[in-house]
Amino acid sequence: MEFIKLKDEKECSKFVAGEIIKLVKNNKKANLGLATGSTPIQTYKYLIEDFNQNKTNWKKIKTFNLDEYLGLPAGHKQSYKVFMSEMLFEGISIKPKNVFFPNTDQNYDKLIASEGGIDFQLLGIGTNGHIGFNEPGSELESLTRIVDLTEETINVNANKFFDGDTTEVPKQAISMGLKSILEAKKIVLLALGESKREVVSKLLDCKEFDINFPASALTLHDDVTIIYDEEASI
Ligand code: PGA
């Protein structure tokens, strides 16, 4: 794993957006694995800014989101489909037919493989070390599946996205597994802010897979970059 420490959210997001723009320009049919949460919001703003300024062509790009809540009504403002539309898709020229989310009716891993696999996977990280919704205890061999969210994740997401109301947060989600994530050709994990200090420090020390720290699976991939800001650094 390569670690790159940059000043703040702005610098980190510019860097990650720059990497994505380079890929989209060099490979007009690239497949991107995308993440939700607070972390990538600024990165997505830069992608939209670039689209408006430079008309970067997203028409043949395909995107595959990592996860989606289960149990929210379609169109719920906290569903990841709505989040992605508002934060990114409506601001670029991506085609709706090229946008994919996991759901319980399809084999997402087969679908991704049949589309040629993911060229670039963007990840955030939870304060408990989850990537996607692969909570501690997730198997290295895990594929896309229904997962139970931990109390910690429900609390964190309630505070960030559901006005602090834990009863509003779905208890389950469908998430790409650790094995699904490791299939990507390149992985970039973004960690921002003080709340990620402990997990970044754990990642820096990480040498092998530890089932209690899901992000440790990334030690098994040979093209992983961790971008983090000064606040996330000890
Ligand atoms: P965050 O979530 O970007 O809102 O911190 C990251 C995650 O839980 O994976």
* Catalytically annotated residue among 50, 65, 130, 183: 130
Mean pLDDT, range 203-208, rounded to an integer: 97
Mean pLDDT, range 223-228, rounded to an integer: 98
Which ligand 1 atom is the nearest neighbour of the CA of 157? 4
Residue 222 has pLDDT above 90, yes or no: yes
Active site residue 135: yes
Q: Give the pLDDT confidence of 76-90 residue by residue, as tens digits.
A: 999 999 999 999 999
- Taking the mean position of all CA atoms in its chain, how far away is CA 165? 23
Distance 125 CA to ligand 1 centre (A): 5
Q: Are 24 and 62 in contact (CB under 8 A)?
A: no
Q: Give the pLDDT confidence of 16-75 residue by residue, as tens digits.
A: 999 999 999 999 999 999 999 999 999 999 999 999 999 999 999 999 999 999 999 999
Active site residue 26: no
Q: Give the pLDDT confidence of 96-144 residue by residue, as tens digits.
A: 999 999 999 999 999 999 999 999 999 999 999 999 999 999 999 999 9
SS3 content of the chain, % helix, strand, coil (to 5): 40, 20, 40
Residue ranges around ligand 1 (CB below 6 Å): 37-39, 124-126, 130, 160
Residue 234 has pLDDT above 90, yes or no: no
Active site residue 130: yes
Question: For the purposes of burial, counting CB atoms within 10 Å of the CB of 114, is it exposed (0-12), middle (13-18) or buried (19 or more)?
Answer: exposed
The model's pTM is 0.97
* Catalytically annotated residue among 67, 68, 119, 183: 67
Distance 141 CA to ligand 1 centre (A): 22
Distance 95 CA to ligand 1 centre (A): 26
